[in-house]
Amino acid sequence: MHQIFRLNRLYNRKDSEGNCHDGVFGVGRTKFLEDYVLRDAADPLIPGTDVPRMELVPLGERAQGATDIEIKRVMEGLQRCAQRKRVQVTV
Dist CA 32 CA 19 (whole Å): 19
For 46-79, write each residue's pLDDT tens digit.
999 999 999 999 999 999 999 999 999 999 999 9
- pLDDT, residue 28, reads 94
Please give the backbone phi and psi of residue 68, each rounded to the nearest 5 degrees, phi first: -60, -30
Give kind and range of the element (H or E) at residue 14: strand 13-14
For 78-89, write each residue's pLDDT tens digit.
999 989 887 766
What string of DSSP letters covers 20-34?
EE--SS-S-HHHIII
- Segment 12-23 shows an average pLDDT of 92
